[in-house]
Amino acid sequence: MAEIEHHEGAQDLEKKIEETRQRFKNEFLQDSTDKYDSRDVERLQQDDAIVEGYLTWRLYVVDDALKMIDESFQWRKEFGVNDITESTIPRWMFETGAVFLHGYDKEGNKLFWFKVKLHVKDAKTILDKKKYVAFWLERYAKKEPGMPLTVVFDMSESGLSNIDMEFVKYVINCFKVYYPKFLSKMIIVDMPWIMNAAWKIVKSWLGPEAISKLKFATKSEIQTFIGLEYLPPHMGGTDPFKYSYPPLPDDDFQTPICDNGPIVSEDETESKEGELEGKDGLESSFNSTEVAVKPKKGWWW
C-alpha cells in the first residue's frame, strides 16, 4: 500500500514539475528573454531538483512556485550570480572575515557564519556585500547540491551601529526566495536586548514557513544546536579555527571515508603539517590583520 502511495506521489510530482516548466515557458519566457540569464533557464528545463526545490518551498502550488522562479531568476541576472567569482569580489571583504562557511551543526548542516560586530552600515558598499553573500551561497550550492545550511548570526559585542536592516532583509530573501529549501535554521546568538525591536521587524519579513526556523540562543544555549568542536572559544567551544585569507576557509567539506579513515592527499598532509607549525604565527597575524583591514568604525551592515 505504501509503495502504491509513494508511486502516485512521485507521479504527481513529475506532473507538477512538467506543468511548472511548461507554464514558465509559455507565461514568463514569451517577450522577456532578456529578463533572465539563459543558463538559469536551461537548468530549470533540465534539472528536476531545481524545480522541485521551488515547488516544495511553495507547498506544491504551481502559481506560487512560478512567481518565486521569476523573482529569483531576475535577481540572478541583475546580480550576475552565474559570473560571480573570487576575483570579482573586493579582496578586503574576504580579508575581514565577517561572513564565511565553516563547520557543521549537530544535524550535519554546514554553518554559515555572520560575525555581526564586524559589520557597519555603508550605502557605498551594500551592493558588493550582497554579491559577497551570493558568492558564498552559490559556491556552496555547487559543492553540496540539495544540502541545507544553518545560518549563525554571532552578535557578541555588537550594537545598533552594526545593524543594517536592508542587508538583513536581503539575507532573509536569499533563503526565502532566491535559494529555496536551503535554510535549515537561522540562529541568533547573544542578541543584545537593545536590538529586540529590530528583530521583531525581521520576524515579520520571514513569513510563516521560515519563522519556525528562527532560533534565539545565549552562548550556553547554542550548544544544543552546535557541538563544542565547531563552536569558537567565546561561545564555550573548542574549535581552534581562526579566520584568515587567502585561501578561502570553507574547504572542510565532508571528506569521503575509506576503510582506513578519511582520504587525504599527500599535498593535504604536507599543508596540515605546515599549518600546525605556523599556527602561533597565524593567530598573531590574524589579530593584527583584523586591526589593519577594519576601517575605524568597522564595516558592513
Residue-wise pLDDT for 202-249, tens only, equals 888 877 777 888 899 999 999 999 999 999 999 999 999 999 998 887
Q: In this predicted model, what pLDDT tens digit does every residue of 102-130 receive, in sequence order?
A: 999 999 999 999 999 999 888 899 999 99
Helix (H) or strand (E) holding 185: strand 183-189
Task: Confirm whether 102 is domain-assigned.
Answer: yes
Q: Are residues 95 and 204 in the same domain?
A: yes
Same-domain pairing of 97 and 231: yes
**Better pLDDT: 225 or 254:** 225
User: How confident is residue 280, by pLDDT bands cut at 50, 70 and 90?
Assistant: very low
**Are 75 and 120 in a shared domain?**
no
| Same-domain check for residues 72 and 8 | yes
Query: Which of 235, 255, 285 represents a domain boundary (last residue)?
Result: 235
Considering the domain architecture, whether residues 51 and 18 belong to the same structural domain is answered as: yes
For residue 250, tell me if it sits in a domain. no
Q: What is the band of 255 on the pLDDT scale with cuts at 50, 70, 90? A: very low
Instruction: Give the helix/strand (H/E) hosting 104.
Output: strand 99-104
- Tell me: do 228 and 95 sit in the same domain: yes
Q: Is the dihedral of CA 131, 133, 135, 137 positive or negative?
A: negative
Q: What is the number of structural domains in the chain?
A: 2
**Pairing between β-strand 110-115 and β-strand 257-258 as defined by DSSP bridges:** unpaired
63 lies in the same domain as 106: no
Residue 66: how many other CB atoms lie within 10 Å: 19
Output the pTM of the full model: 0.79
Indicate if 32 and 73 belong to the same structural domain: yes
Q: Is residue 220 part of a domain?
A: yes
Domain range spanning residue 228? Answer: 90-235
Percent share of the chain, pLDDT over 90: 57
Residue 128 falls inside a structural domain: yes
Among 2-16, 118-132, 272-286, top mean pLDDT goes to 118-132
